[in-house]
A and B are shown apart, each in its own frame.
Chain A
Amino acid sequence: MGACVAWGLARRGLRVCVLDEGDIALRASRANFALIWVQGKGIGFPAYAAWTKAAAEAWPRLAAELRSETGINVGLDQPGGFTLCLSDRELQANVDLMVRLHSQTDAVIYPYEVMDHRQTKARLPAIGPDVSGSIYCPLDGHVNSLRLFRALHAAMKARSVDYRADHAVTAIEPRAGGFALNGAWGTVRAPKVVLAAGLGNARLAPMVGLEALMKPSRGQIIVTEKATPFLRYPVVTVRQTDEGGVMIGDSEEADGSSLRIDHSISSVMADRAIRMFPLLGDLNVVRTWSAFRVMTPDGSPIYEQSETCPGAYVAMAHSGVTLAPQHAFSLADYIATGTIPKEVAVFSTRRFRVPASV
């Protein structure tokens, strides 16, 4: 988030400084599943579906610009994506969800297909007999999230963004005409400050009259050794990176306290992955990890300018990979000009105070 916004602001000619923590930090951007995912999002909040869909559509532009500025290919691949279901009930629950999404007021309509086993097998020949069916959405895709991370850093550097690691911010003081950000390392002053500190926002936001509402959310992921390509499309819980490793994800636990690996969860994920793709059974697992998501109470982003301290913004979202183009282009533009337009202002925390009109 921070890197997207910083680069976006620098593209607009602003002088930007990024203050970041050190080598070990809670950093969702280092731990994610790297999907650019549209299907299933935005129940009760069609604006989020629209924002997500536009993000997926803007991804080719972001990938191209990053490539031309840094030479790094982020491995964007948007062939459409699958949700694989291992029982008829699972399939039905997913179908119900898609139907509800497309029939809510102001629904954002996009194409998707419900497939049975045979139809799914035609696209994904490696599936096993336990797959009862799937949902395919042509808008979905994935990237190489490690290369995206590196490309954003390289792009910041190319645009002379002053990136400072080991610069944890401990206090922010609103000052006439701007803000003073303090840490053990000293002070930096700026007329505008964007809080893109992920989980760190919870502490920083109140210092400038903002609120960073979050709920605990933990996700666990399994990664295997490299293998020859077997999967042409990303599946919501299984994808093969362009380097060959297979990622299996990701759990969703309401736990914000511990990052210990739960082998029982790994087991369920591994088991489901093998039932989806039996040929994965003999792959060697090289890593498992868990990470906290930057999860707002309703799962949609929060973008907001402080009323009491204008010039201070908070920007946080789960699905920061999917939304990267929105953050680098649109959000950065709004912050540069100083106003957040109406269609983006719906993502303020006010939505948690007034009853949502569904």
Chain B
Amino acid sequence: MFRRLSDRASGEVTFTFDGLPVRASAGDSVAAALLAAGVRACRTTPVSGAPRGPYCMMGVCFECLVRIDGMDNRQGCLVPVQEGMRVETQHGARALTTEPAQ
């Protein structure tokens, strides 16, 4: 649904989405990097389980929520992607396990 223009110079970073390696440009937000990789839906809703994907890209709609490095419900469009980052689909509500995430 999106492709990357080749006339902009910027470094490359690699992160994983649901375990698979994805390449992105330094300076991408997580949401932009996922769009560039062809990911449309990045989460399911806590209410009905419907799939959703980034909508506004400016931090107001909260549709781009993903799990980043083990932390649920982060706004992918506001977080810059980083080398080695672990990004995962946000499945419904934030998961609370009895062991606190540190």
Contacts and interface: CB of A to CB of B under 8 A. Distances in A.
A341 to B, nearest CB: 46
B93 interface: yes
Given A225-B94, A226-B94, A244-B46, A279 B100 contact: yes
Given A227-B93, A228-B93, A284-B73, A279 B46 contact: no
A203 B18 CA distance: 61
A62 interface: no
Given A226-B46, A244-B46, A284-B73, A279 B97 contact: yes
Contacts of A40: none
B99 A279 contact: yes
Interface string A241-252: 000100000000
Contacts of A282: 71-72, 100-101
Interface size class of B (residues with CB under 8 A): 10 to 19
Contacts of B96: 126, 227-230, 279-280, 283
Contacts of A279: 96-101
Contacts, number: 40
B20 to A, nearest CB: 25
Nearest to A244: B93
A126 B98 CA distance: 5
B95 interface: yes
Interface residues of A, number: 16
A44 interface: no
Interface in A215-257: 225-230, 244
A283 B94 contact: yes
Interface of A is mostly: loop
B98 A125 contact: yes
B98 A230 contact: yes
A13 B1 CA distance: 63
Nearest to B99: A279
Interface string A271-314: 00000001111111000000000000000000000000000000
A227 B100 contact: no
A227 B99 contact: no
Given A244-B46, A284-B73, A226 B93 contact: yes
A281 B71 CA distance: 11
A280 B100 CA distance: 8
A99 to B, nearest CB: 33
Nearest to A229: B96
Contacts of B46: 226, 244
A281 B94 contact: no
Nearest to B74: A284
A146 B96 CA distance: 24
Given A225-B93, A283-B96, 10 more contacts: A125-B98, A126-B98, A226-B46, A227-B94, A228-B92, A228-B95, A278-B100, A281-B100, A282-B100, A283-B94
Q: Which 7 A-B pairs have the closest CB atoms?
A: A226-B93, A230-B96, A278-B100, A227-B94, A226-B46, A279-B100, A227-B96
Interface of A: 125-126, 225-230, 244, 278-284
28 contacts: A126-B98, A225-B73, A225-B93, A225-B94, A226-B93, A227-B93, A227-B94, A227-B96, A228-B92, A228-B93, A228-B94, A228-B95, A229-B96, A230-B96, A244-B46, A244-B93, A279-B96, A279-B97, A279-B98, A279-B99, A280-B96, A281-B100, A282-B71, A282-B72, A282-B100, A282-B101, A283-B96, A284-B94
